[in-house]
Amino acid sequence: MQGIPSITLILFILMVGVGLVLLITSTRTSRQVHSLVPHQYIRRWHVLTLLMYFFSAAYGIYIILLLTDWHFPEELLICSVFLAGAIFVYGVIDLARMTIENLHDNAVNLEQRITLRTEELIASNSELETSRQKLYEKNIFLENVLESLTHPFYVIDVNSREIVIYNKAAGFTGKPGKTCHELTHDSSLPCCGSEHPCTIEEIRKTGKPVLLEHLHKDPEGKNIFVEVRGYPIFDKNGKLTQIIEYVQDITDRKKAEERLIQAKLEAERANKAKNDFLANVSHEIRTPMNAILGMTDLALATELTENQRKYLETVKGSSDLLLNLINDILDFSKIEAGHFQLDKRSFTFADIIGSILPAMKHSAEEKGITLSVDASDKLCEEKLIGDDLRVQQVLNNLIGNGIKFTDKGSVSVRCICHEPTEDEVKVECSITDTGIGIEQGFFDEIFESFRQVNTSISRLHGGTGLGLAISKLLAELMGGTIHVESEMGKGSRFTFVCRFMKDRRSQDRSNEGDREEVILAPLKVLVVDDISANRDLVRMMLEQDNHSVDEAASGLEALERLAESAYDVVLMDIQMPILDGLQTTGYIRSLENYDASKLNSLVSPELLEKIALCQGKKHLPLLALTARATSDDREKCFTAGMDGYISKPFRKDEIIHEMSRALHTATEKVQ
């Protein structure tokens, strides 16, 4: 390097050194970004890196040549450097081209993606706006729905018990953050107890909607009865978070219910008063009827002229009609009040037909018409369980109507049985007449209470219109029906259907209507009744069989008689002044049982002591002889301690039969 100016040499060395530093720095940078180079450029990047190593080596060799006397062909070195530089420049340019093209493509794709994304965002914004509009409309709709509800509606947070949503009807406006009990009950404590249960707690028990009745405060602070419907709201985990309450004012309904209850009580009182009135009317009518019928029977048993017998039979027939009318009214009253009960006993249809036929044939013969009865042997022989007296009552009504409304021709009765099951019998009775007939439009009306086909019938044939109504009700109580077929001027057919159970019991028993003739040894009898005609009637009946009869006009007088003399049987009226029959029976039974708790000031202890001494400890047979004819009256008599029950008007055989039965029962009690 001799001959080169020092300044030039310094500049040369400085430039070579700077170039070498730049090459080394570039090589290091190349290694640092090597991992970031896209895979499609990695080979070109390796070539450029090698060229940078080559330039660094060439720089180093060139410096060594300058600093030493080592000879190396400089032309080869310079050519190599130029070639490598050309390759490096080409590689850089090519890499730059590819990068630029890639950037261009990316730019184009980016613009397309931006455009597409922009379109998507615009569409999303449009959908979002539509959804927001729908949500707004839905909120407006829900608000309108809530506000349109005329009853309070609100949502309660179950934890804080605050009302979070409510409608205008709730009346909570201007009272935010208040609890349900503060807003609805004006109370600082939640609802509790069976009379005022909490809706939240009731829903927590079952997790289901509830219906409760509460006492709320209206916006003016007045108490109102409300019906609260509570519905649960659960979160996604099934935990109860809120409840909905829908409230309806039922104050008017509650008042109406109270009025209805009061009206029901008043109706029951009125019905009881009516029943009491009917019972009293029955008693007051049966009492003279008893004397009329009894004395008529006694008179008919004597020797009479033909005209006298005809007069008395007319009196007896009219009295029987009046008695039937009273019985119909009482039966209808009991059925209407729901107090009517059927008895169950063993009977056969032969017994019923045998009881009905004689009287009905007599009535038919008086009108000059024929009455025929056709009943199968199997039906007549089959023992059944049921109320034979009520079956007899229905058949009496239907056959009696057939005879009443038939002026010529015949009335025929046909009874057959069906066996739907092994233990059940269905009896079908058809009563056909050739009478006046019924218009088709009145088929249903004739079974209504107090209804007849027309008003002229009651004037021509009599009757109250209760017979068929009672018969229909009795048939339904016996599991059956009644229906009619008829044609005006050609007659009618009434079909009565009832059901009974077969009597499977082996022993042969007779019913109350089949009483064998009873002959009693002469007895000493005390008859207690405040009506002298009734006492006279019983005395005359019993004296015909040589019984000794004493009389008492009241319960107190009866006790005085018992203190003076011992009796075999006492026949006692129930309704009497001062001391009635039930009270008198109570005194007698208390003496037999030594029960001093039943004694009172109406009877002196001295009188009771005399009765106890006179009668001893024997059981004295006491028979009710009363015009009270209801099942309740019968039960009261037996509860008081009586041994039998005879309803007025009575027959002599009834009294004898009951006396015999009571004496037999008393003997068993003594034993």
Reading the block at residue 187, the tokens are 């109370």
Cα-Cα-Cα-Cα dihedral sign, residues 201, 202, 207, 211? negative
Query: Residue 511 above 50 pLDDT?
Result: no
Report d(CA 491, CA 438) in Å as an integer.
Answer: 8
Can you tell me the distance from the alpha carbon of 570 to that of 553, in angstroms, rounded to the nearest whole number?
13
CB distance 288 to 533 below 8 Å: yes
What share of residues in the chain are helix, strand, coil (percent, to 5)? 55, 15, 25
Name which residue leads in pLDDT, 501 or 315: 501
| Residues 45-100 pLDDT 10s | 787 778 777 777 777 777 677 667 666 676 776 777 777 777 777 777 777 777 77
Residues 561, 567, 569: CA angle, nearest 5 degrees: 115
**Residue 396 pLDDT exceeds 90:** no
pLDDT surpasses 80 at 670: no
Mean pLDDT of 523-531: 93
What are 666-671's contacts with CB under 8 Å, separation 24+?
666/618, 666/619, 666/620, 666/621, 669/619, 670/618, 670/619
pLDDT at position 456 over 50? no
Mean pLDDT of the chain: 81
CB atoms closer than 10 angstroms to residue 282: 23
Query: Rounded to 5 degrees, what angle do the CA atoms 616, 621, 627 make?
Result: 140
Report whether pLDDT(294) > 70.
Answer: yes
Contacts of 377 (CB under 8 A, 6+ apart): none
pLDDT at 629 over 80: no
d(C-alpha 171, C-alpha 179), whole Å:
14
For CA atoms 13, 19, 22, 24, the dihedral sign is negative
Q: Are 417 and 425 in contact (CB under 8 A)?
A: yes
Q: Which residues fall within 8 angstroms of residue 536, CB to CB, at 6 or more apart?
A: 291
- Please report which confidence band the pLDDT of residue 561 belongs to, taking 50, 70 and 90 as the band edges: very high
Is the pTM higher than 0.75? no
Q: What is the mean pLDDT of residues 509-536?
A: 74
Give 496's strand partners.
429, 482
Which band of pLDDT confidence, cut at 50, 70 and 90, is reported for residue 517?
low
What is the pLDDT at residue 431? 93
Q: What percent of the chain has pLDDT over 90?
A: 15
* 328 DSSP β-pair partners: none
Predicted pLDDT of residue 600? 52
Q: What is the mean pLDDT of residues 196-221?
A: 86
Q: Span 579-594, mean pLDDT?
A: 84
Rg (CA), the chain: 59
**Is-contact 312 304, C-beta < 8 A?**
yes
Position 543 scores a pLDDT of: 92
- What is the secondary structure of 434-495 as a DSSP string? -SS---GGGTTGGGSTT--S-HHHHHHH---S-HHHHHHHHHHHTT-EEEEEEETTTEEEEE
Q: What is the distance between the alpha carbons of residues 309 and 302, in angstroms, rounded to a whole number?
A: 9
pLDDT tens, residue by residue, 339-371? 667 778 888 888 888 878 877 887 888 889 999
Render pLDDT for 102-125 as a digit per residue (tens, 0 to 9). 777 878 888 888 888 888 889 888
* % residues pLDDT > 70 (the chain): 86
Distance CA(447)–CA(458), nearest Å, equals 15
Highest mean pLDDT among 254-263, 279-288, 497-506, 612-621: 254-263
d(CA 266, CA 260): 10
**Structure confidence by residue, pLDDT tens digits, 154-184:** 889 988 888 888 888 887 776 666 888 888 8
127's tokens? 């959908």
286: pLDDT strictly greater than 70: yes
